[in-house]
Amino acid sequence: MKKYIDRGKKDTRSGFGEGLHLAGKADPRVVALTADLKGSLKMDAFAAEFPDRYFECGIAEANMIGVASGMAITGLVPFAGSFAEFVTGRVYDQVRMEVCYGKANVKIASSHAGITLGEDGATHQTMEDIALMRALPDMVVINPCDWTQTKNATIAAAKYNGPVYLRFGRPKVADFMPDEPFEIGKAYVLNGGKDVSIIATGHMVWEALKAAEVLETEGICAEVIDVATIKPLDTPTILASAIKTGAVVVAEEHNMAGGLGELVAGVLAATSPKPIEYVNGKDTFGQSGTPGELLAAYGIDADNIAEAARRVIERK
Amino acid sequence: MQSTEDLKKIASQVRRDIIRMVVEAKSGHPGGSMSSTDFMTALYFGVMDHDPATWTREGKGQDMFVLSAGHLTPMYYSILSRAGYFPTSELASFRKFGTRLQGHPSVRKGLPGVFQAAGSLGQGLSVAVGMALGKKAAKDNHSVFCLCGDGETEEGEIWEAAMFAAHHKVDNLIAMTDVNGQQIDGTTEEVAGLGDLDAKWKAFGWETISADGHDMDAILKAFSTAKGLEGKGKPVMILFRTEMGHGVDFMAGTHKWHGSVPNADQCAIALKQLEETLGDF
């Protein structure tokens, strides 16, 4: 099994901040907007170097999305950022009409996604955002797994012409992916396996790798796939893996409804049904706590992935 | 630049187009279309620097316009076609399957002149603000115009945009509100207590102009004043005082014609009151 080394714990939002800064250096059309969360979104370096291309919108997310749309129409490449709930649920209609239906080249920068936002509790945690953004025609949905991949995904989003929902998180997590250009629409097979496919996205990718190490000691060879782009989904890669292993676990920091689990299940059901287990939220809101406490409490971590793998293999 | 008399003639034809479009489509919003006809005609035929022949959605080197009150498509499409963006014959396709003239503006059908979708209310002013900032970034010394309905300004995002534009000194933006005092469920006062719009926009940091939206000379003067205020650190709002359904006696001054359509007899009566000046589509 291929080993991935944690180069040190880093937050994916800082990967976004680094990627935004680099994209801004490379392309003068790149601008950044935020609704009073510059520090949380790690836009400081961009704002310091490009003060004329940074727009503080105040606590007014709906207007921020509309302004970004207008900027995009004139040829700019705006990244509009806030917490995941506030750039999706709060402004769904603006994103729908002004960005997607309105064909505006806007990048929605979505930080603090999932329950690992932690102590602020359920009002600020969202486990529904992927569902909302996936439902929008033409929206690309990217959920990278570590600092390095988030940095490279941000650069790729800036180059892509069209609406992008870029989802990342708050806590410091393992940084392990190779530093290489991000390919939108590609599912990354991190290690080959034959007994079970663990299909993970975002923070769950490292948890899946940890689970695969445990499973290896039990003689189970797990294939781990990083679905960094949820829409468009790399269906061929996922199908090939599922057909090879004959058992699938999907892991995500998101509720069942509208998440990656349902998406993968739909693909398999339509073409090549296989036993499937889900590691995700089950129609639930979160609560206050540390990220580790919350992931354990809601059953979304390496231990639960390993257990789901054992269960699904039994069902083959 | 058209003369005041020319503008009045165009406006009469636009009102005929509005009636004939909604009757042909058996749906649409004539009331607000007719209240905004005069000043929108002045904008496209006497104020805006624009050229349909070289129009692109990016709007480089031209003035741009955002229709925020997206239901005013009968007026908007008539003016765009009369200005040369597309053939007037296409007005007959309004709201029909496959048309470029969607019920509310779309950028997905390739209709020239339309910069952004609208329909869900309260969002267009934010878009116009973003366009104006885009023009500043590109050092393009042109203006962005935006039309809101008065009822539409009940939406919270309008006031988010108002605060943002004033804070960021978006002074290449001229917004207009069609103050016809009517919305679907009744008068704006009955429905929402809209209050003193002049004072509200002033309080939000905007230059505020009030004008009779059916007096062509007053309209042109208001635009001239607004243009003179550009580049001085503040966005501009023109509050055009109008009458819903203006131009046809039985449609004027009531919310009942916001989104309803004349029958054949009413259509004939309405058209008798509106001179055909440029040839019907």
| Average pLDDT per 10 consecutive residues for chain B, totaling 281 residues | 92 98 98 98 98 98 98 98 98 98 97 98 98 98 98 98 98 98 96 96 98 98 98 98 98 95 98 98 97
Contact of B115 with chain A, judged by CB distance below 8 Å, is answered with yes
pLDDT of residue A1: 83
Interface of B with A in 219-248 (CB under 8 A): none
pLDDT of residue B172: 98
DSSP string, B125-141: HHHHHHHHHHHHHTT--
Contact of B57 with chain A, judged by CB distance below 8 Å, is answered with yes
Selection from B125, B137, B202 nearest residue B165 by Cα:
B125
Spatial distance between the Cα atoms of B40 and A277, rounded to a whole number of angstroms: 59
Q: Tell me whether residues B157 and A52 touch, CB distance under 8 A.
A: no
Chain A interface residues facing chain B, Cβ-Cβ under 8 Å? 31, 52-53, 55, 57-58, 60, 62-76, 78, 93-94, 96-98, 101-104
pLDDT of A145 strictly over 70:
yes
CB-nearest partner of A93 from B108, B120, B126: B120
Task: State which CATH number among 3.30.70.1290, 3.40.50.920, 3.30.70.3340, 3.30.450.40 fits the domain covering A188-314.
Answer: 3.40.50.920
Nearest CA-CA distance, residue B117 and chain A, Å: 5
Q: Tell me whether residues B127 and A58 touch, CB distance under 8 A.
A: no
CB atoms within 10 A of CB A228: 28
Whether A9-174 shares its CATH topology with A188-314 is answered yes
Spatial distance between the Cα atoms of A226 and A40, rounded to a whole number of angstroms: 25
For residues A92 and A1, the model is more confident at: A92
Q: What is the pLDDT of residues A281-305, one digit of tens each?
A: 999 999 999 999 999 999 999 999 9
Spatial distance between the Cα atoms of B79 and B76, rounded to a whole number of angstroms: 5
CB-nearest partner of A68 from B125, B130, B137: B130
Rounded to the nearest 10 degrees, the angle between the axes of helix B124-137 and helix B156-167 is 20
Spatial distance between the Cα atoms of B15 and B21, rounded to a whole number of angstroms: 10
CB-nearest partner of A97 from B57, B117, B137: B117
Spatial distance between the Cα atoms of A110 and A65, rounded to a whole number of angstroms: 12
Q: Which residues of A are catalytic?
A: 61
Place of tokens 């050229």: B51
**Global pTM?**
0.98
Contact of B161 with chain A, judged by CB distance below 8 Å, is answered with yes
Give the rounded distance of the alpha carbon of B86 from its chain centre. Answer: 18
Spatial distance between the Cα atoms of A94 and A61, rounded to a whole number of angstroms: 9
pLDDT of residue B2: 85
Chain A neighbors of B118, CB-CB under 8 A: 97
Q: What is the pLDDT of residues A76-135, one digit of tens each?
A: 999 999 999 999 999 999 999 999 999 999 999 999 999 999 999 999 999 999 999 999
> What residue spans define the domains of chain A?
9-174, 188-314
Nearest residue of B to residue A55, measured between CA atoms = B168
Nearest CA-CA distance, residue A58 and chain B, Å: 8
Chain B neighbors of A31, CB-CB under 8 A: 137
Q: Tell me whether residues B108 and A73 touch, CB distance under 8 A.
A: no
pLDDT of residue A303: 98
Nearest residue of A to residue B64, measured between CA atoms = A74
Interface of B with A in 61-90 (CB under 8 A): 64, 66
CATH architecture assigned to A9-174 = 3-Layer(aba) Sandwich (3.40)
Q: Tell me whether residues B130 and A69 touch, CB distance under 8 A.
A: yes
Spatial distance between the Cα atoms of B175 and B233, rounded to a whole number of angstroms: 15
DSSP string, A119-164: TT-TTT-BSSHHHHHHTSTT-EEE---SHHHHHHHHHHHHHS-S-E
Nearest CA-CA distance, residue B195 and chain A, Å: 23
- Among A71, A74, A92, which would you mutate to test the B interface (most chain B Cβ atoms within 10 Å of its Cβ)? A74
Q: What is the pLDDT of residues A185-213, one digit of tens each?
A: 999 999 999 999 999 999 999 999 999 99
Nearest CA-CA distance, residue B173 and chain A, Å: 12
Contact of B138 with chain A, judged by CB distance below 8 Å, is answered with yes
